Amino acid sequence: MFAKESHTIKTSSSLLSNSNSGAIEEFVKYTARANQNSKSMQKALELTMAIPQRVHDLVYTNNIQHYPGDTNKLGRLIRHDSFEVAEGDESPKQRYVFLFKNKLMITEKNASTEPATYTHLATIRLDKYTVTTHVLHEDTILLKPNEPGLPSFSLKPKDIARSEYVRKAWVKDINEEQEAYGMLLYRITTV
């Protein structure tokens, strides 16, 4: 069943990305050249171009099992990768980690199914943590809680050859999400 859904999603994604976005892009370009208002067309182009990525994200989010909420409400999937994750002083375990808007989700990957499934283990709200790099092990990301009672986490990329790139990309994206969430909270509290 999952294989059929995955094929349908991939086919739909390629149709959307190839046909509509090119035509809308040309239309926006020529409308702008004619000094006409193209804001609504620009939004349509952005929406059309976001659909293939969202469809691709659904291949992952639809296969997350035992998540206590609605996986469709997680938002855009920003990044995902394999890590050795340790909670507190526990020994590290092989985990698959997803980054969503202000959320980091730790799962256990089951690669024996097609497509792979992911068993939800924990969800971390990024606004409740400070993200740093380990002093001695530069390829390890540390998540230190800002509130008492929350566990600390360390994430070490599984792929050693790409570990520096993976760590830098994750830290950058996590920091951007924390800043965006902080700005959103600031706007809400000042209104």
Residues 6+ apart with CB under 8 A from 180: 101, 102
Q: What is the domain class of 64-190 according to CATH?
A: mainly beta
Strand runs labelled E in the chain: 64-65, 79-87, 93-100, 103-110, 117-125, 129-133, 141-145, 153-157
The H or E element spanning position 22 is: helix 2-33
Q: Measured in whole angstroms, how far is the alpha carbon of residue 79 from the centre of its chain?
A: 4
**pTM exceeds cut of 0.85:** no
Strand runs labelled E in 37-135: 64-65, 79-87, 93-100, 103-110, 117-125, 129-133
CA distance 100 to 104: 6
Residues 14-28 have pLDDT tens digits of 444 455 567 767 767
Domain range annotation of the chain: 2-61, 64-190
Size of the chain in residues: 191
Residues 50-87 have pLDDT tens digits of 677 777 788 899 999 999 999 988 888 999 999 999 99
CA distance 28 to 139: 44
pLDDT bin (cut points 50, 70, 90) of residue 6 is very low
CA distance 61 to 49: 19
Backbone angles phi, psi at 7, to 5 degrees: -65, -40
Pairing outcome for strands 141-145 and 153-157 = antiparallel
pLDDT bin (cut points 50, 70, 90) of residue 42 is confident
For residue 83, the cross-strand partners are: 95, 157
